[in-house]
Structure 1
């Protein structure tokens, strides 16, 4: 499991420099070069990395080999194929990497506010279980994302997310309504019987090592990747 930052790539402003998103307006050739560089650093074949056309849904797709392009209209990927890397792109949403090494099942999920609210993680865990995983054997890593202290939303939205993702409503540092998607996901995962959970506490809104849509508007995307060696 690995998460990237925005450093070390070839993209120019406002995508500088290690932008891995091919849907944000950056030069396609530069994004491809960044993705090739990522694969090389990780010792992977670029063709063995599977990307998603993320749409803030709760759709989960199972993949068993390389894809010609991004898997369409999905926000989580699951596989049992060794050597196949699953990638999730983010710029404030929570990248969630899941692995059951005992039973050989992995997943990568894009848990933005809407996807998390609508159950992307329970659906991902359920699909992993269908393929042989057990909740008690699943390890989860939540990556850098918007933190509750900076993720301000209208009070009605905070209440709605809390209703569907208990434990996510919070107050920002300014005392305004906010949500902490990571906190809600940790509570949700534990309720599913997944207890081996680690969360990177860094906030993409305040940490300029990361791309942040909330901070910058037009910007790049960092990635989380998971694979079975």
Structure 2
């Protein structure tokens, strides 16, 4: 749709997908643009219209399927749209059913889209730091395999998320990752005293590669630094703003 920015990944060529920014929406104020977050204080009618515009930009006519995201490592398989109020508490969705579009909402966390074209299986995951270290990408791959995918055929793309230069964390955060694997130290750069700069995107790519995926693309777009294109929870927090928007990443199989 005109005005809606739909960022594509070469790794997912031939599959209906898109990482959407904030352009092309009807929301105003702090969440101006294509805000799709029902957890924001935005007008529900504006959110609904933005979601319709997002779907039309990627897979027109498909019902949108989203989860109630809780920063977990849980992935669920989808065979039909969920009824309102009955979305699963999970952070990844997988399907082999044509005609559905899976959506993941983010505002600094990493959206990851997956596809095994040969098997006809796609998935979408929300990888914040908690989900990433907990193994949400591993759970997503396992859910895809249960639907007939093979991990050596799965392609994955990591969409716009907060970049290392914008992501300051404390020493306890750093220690948590290094306790899991001392080699994780390479995803941190020195920052202010007792603080570090964390590369979430590189860590997610690492987990995908560690799981055996051969085709992985990272878009390298910083949600925090590019206000014109993306919403950012951390940017809003640093400014003391009472609300923030969410962007959506979509993938589906044409019917």
After TM superposition, is the score higher than 0.5? yes
Partner of 1:58: 73
* Separation in 2, partners of 1:172, 1:14: 32
Q: Secondary structure at the match of 2:164?
A: coil
* Separation in 2, partners of 1:14, 1:38: 19
| Cα distance change on mapping 1:172 and 1:64 into 2, 3 Å | farther
Partner of 1:198: 217
The answer to whether the aligner puts 1:22 opposite 2:42 as a matched pair is no
Do 1:161 and 1:169's aligned partners in 2 also have CA atoms closer than 8 Å?
A: no
* Separation in 1, partners of 2:211, 2:83: 34
Deviates more, 1:114-123 or 1:160-169: 160-169
Q: CA deviation at 1:37?
A: 1.6
* Separation in 1, partners of 2:122, 2:176: 30
Give CA-to-partner distance per residue, 1:172-209, whole Å, 9 cap, x none.
67684122121111111111110200011011111111
Give CA-to-partner distance per residue, 1:110-155, whole Å, 9 cap, x none.
0001111111111111111121111111010100001112110101
Candidates 144, 152, 161, aligned match of 1:145: 161
| Cα distance change on mapping 1:188 and 1:180 into 2, 3 Å | same
* Separation in 1, partners of 2:165, 2:190: 4
Q: How many residues are paired up?
A: 228
Do 2:168 and 2:191's aligned partners in 1 also have CA atoms closer than 8 Å?
A: no
RMSD over equivalenced CA pairs, Å: 1.7
* Separation in 1, partners of 2:33, 2:25: 4
TM-score (norm 1): 0.93
Candidates 16, 20, 23, aligned match of 1:4: 20
Deviates more, 1:161-170 or 1:72-81: 161-170
* Separation in 2, partners of 1:115, 1:18: 25
Partner of 1:159: 175
Do 2:65 and 2:101's aligned partners in 1 also have CA atoms closer than 8 Å?
A: yes
* Separation in 1, partners of 2:180, 2:137: 12
> Structure 1 stretches of 5 or more lacking a match?
none
Do 2:26 and 2:49's aligned partners in 1 also have CA atoms closer than 8 Å?
A: yes
| Cα distance change on mapping 1:65 and 1:205 into 2, 3 Å | same
Q: CA deviation at 1:43?
A: 4.2
Partner of 1:131: 147
* Separation in 2, partners of 1:124, 1:60: 5
